[in-house]
Amino acid sequence: MDITFNKNEDHNKQLLSQLNKMLHQVSFGGGKERLAKHEKKGKMTARDRVDFLFDSPHNTLEIGALAGDQMYKDHGGCPSGGVIVKIGDVSGKQCIVVANDATVKAGAWFPITAKKNLRAQEIAIENNLPIIYLVDSAGVYLPMQDEIFPDKEHFGRIFRNNAVMSSKGITQIAAVMGSCVAGGAYLPIMSDESIIVDKTGSIFLAGSYLVKAAIGENIDNETLGGATTHTEISGVCDYKAKNDQDALDSIKNIVGKIGAFEKAGFNRIPSIEPKDNPDDIYGILPESRSEQYDMKEIIKRLVDNSKMEEYKANYGKTLICAYARIEGWAVGIVANQRKLVKNGKGEMQFGGVIYSDSADKATRFIANCNQKKIPLVFLQDVTGFMVGSKSEHGGIIKDGAKMVNAVSNSVVPKFTIIIGNSYGAGNYAMCGKAYDPRFIFAWPSAELAVMGGKQAAQVLLQIETASLKKQGQRISKEKEKEILESITNRYAKQTSPYYAAARLWTDGIINPLETRKIISMGIEVANHAPIEKQFNMGVIQV
């Protein structure tokens, strides 16, 4: 191993250590003190509830663990968006579980909470996946009601999705394990079956204090909307549970009786571990996002037996297109080659840049994968499309549009891993969030932005200094340096993978060594939903 490999390894393992530290921190929800108070009420924590449901709590996939990170500081924060979302097996059936964390503002809904709940429902709808709600929420967080209540992708969309899933035959089960108030009270009754925990679970449109204020009636919450009321009088809930564990056992029993589902039929054979050591990834991936490296060496450490069949290997070399297997699943990989390459004309091409020939190759490969019903995996480390007169005259916009068209209209499931750069239109062509990947995760080394930091900082510097000069200010070299440093720091914060994960632009940040497992679980999830449409790119310029 050379010194560069060792330096890269140290840097990437430091990034991984930072990630592990943050994931450990958010696992405490609203904090150890609030967790202790929650448990004193005889209630399990949100994470304990979720883990209790799964057949194997360690063989799960968490969505949005870092949602809300560094957001809502003026409101005390919202760790993990105040809700836990995980995918795993419950009684042998793959399910997605959504659990309110009552230690975070009593489980109240912040804007990011709604976004995360909607993401969970989107996954269930796209993949015909049974969804389980563990409800323990005080409802909308009133100080921010204008950002969560009235719009299309706000709180009310949850119940619209309940109805849509019901019409599609997607199983929905709700367990009321704490508060379930106001609009949220519709969720259990819009689910297929509902369970309520005695003495701790309650459902009502308005609590006892509001009832008193509104109509003058004196009544306690338990009589108003407790377990006995809703299983013996109103009929809102189907089962009454003695405690949290009893409610979760009931869910397991219900899920265990669900019939088999129709599969999409993606190809899978027994898995073979990579022949090349996956740990080498830490040393291969450069410390700097501008340094070159061979993406094929990364791919070899992600795929079964380190083997791939490369499509058009000597054409369009800045994009690698290859067939391979990941944990036995057949996949088509589209990855940005990050080293300097020479095209068929003897011209040098920059790694990480998409050229016309690369875009043309990827378009054809994506069409082939759709024809063969092979899921697509995008490995992003892209700075964008090639610019300049030669590229423009050669039709880079046309060829890039064809690739974007193919990605947009792909009917096989797509999975995106952001390894390094994810800049500008390159993010789009490589199946960024806007192009409906079934799952999109980032490595700790990722950066997401409209352009690279240095270029953006220089552009923003020119704009800001021009504005100050118009105001009559004289800009010295020292002042210009100070402005540039401020802009660079601000821009760097916004390009961080944590900034993206906090806002659910990605489903989370992962250890690179978890990539195989996550893609495999993702394809298993997608296998619940048979492909119903034919691949059709519509009108394109040839």
pLDDT tens-digit readout, 295-311: 999 999 999 999 999 99
pLDDT tens by residue, 335-359: 999 999 989 888 889 899 999 999 9
Q: How confident is the model at residue 454 (pLDDT cuts 50, 70, 90)?
A: low
Q: How confident is the model at residue 541 (pLDDT cuts 50, 70, 90)?
A: low
Find out whether 450 and 474 touch, Cβ atoms under 8 Å: no
Average pLDDT, the chain: 92
Question: What are the residues facing 37 on neighbouring strands?
Answer: none
Q: 68-77, 337-346, 428-437, 446-455 — which is least confidently predicted? A: 446-455
Q: 169-178, 201-210, 398-407, 523-532 — which is least confidently predicted? A: 201-210
**Model pLDDT, residue 230:** 94
Q: 54-63, 76-85, 219-228 — which is least confidently predicted? A: 219-228
For residue 524, the Cα-to-chain-centroid distance in whole angstroms is 16
**262-279 burial string, b = 16+ CB within 10 Å, else e?**
eebebebeeeeebebebe
Stretch 37-52: mean pLDDT, rounded?
Answer: 94
Phi, psi of 449 (to 5 degrees): -165, 170
Q: Cα–Cα distance between 512 and 305 in angstroms, integer?
A: 17
Stretch 412-424: mean pLDDT, rounded?
Answer: 96
**Model pLDDT, residue 453:** 62
Q: Cα–Cα distance between 60 and 345 in angstroms, integer?
A: 48
Q: How confident is the model at residue 463 (pLDDT cuts 50, 70, 90)?
A: confident
Cα angle: 288, vertex 400, 416; to 5 degrees: 55
**Model pLDDT, residue 452:** 63
And the tokens for 323? 């067939």
**Model pLDDT, residue 139:** 85
- The most confident of the ranges 140-149, 210-219, 228-237 is 228-237
pLDDT tens by residue, 235-291: 999 999 999 999 999 999 999 999 999 999 999 999 999 999 999 999 999 999 889
Asked if the model's pLDDT at residue 531 lies above 90, the reply is yes
What percent of the chain has pLDDT above 70? 97
**Model pLDDT, residue 335:** 98
Alpha helices by DSSP H, 27-110 = 32-40, 46-53
Name the DSSP letter for residue 260.
P
Half-sphere CA count of 100, side-chain side, radius 13 A: 29
Number of neighbouring beta carbons within 10 Å of residue 492: 15
| pTM score of the predicted model | 0.93
**Model pLDDT, residue 205:** 86
Stretch 505-518: mean pLDDT, rounded?
Answer: 98
pLDDT tens by residue, 374-390: 999 999 999 988 877 88
Asked if the model's pLDDT at residue 232 lies above 90, the reply is yes
Residue 58, classed as helix, strand or coil, is coil
**Model pLDDT, residue 395:** 76
**Model pLDDT, residue 91:** 97
**Model pLDDT, residue 391:** 80
Stretch 3-19: mean pLDDT, rounded?
Answer: 96
Report the amino acid identity of residue 293.
Y
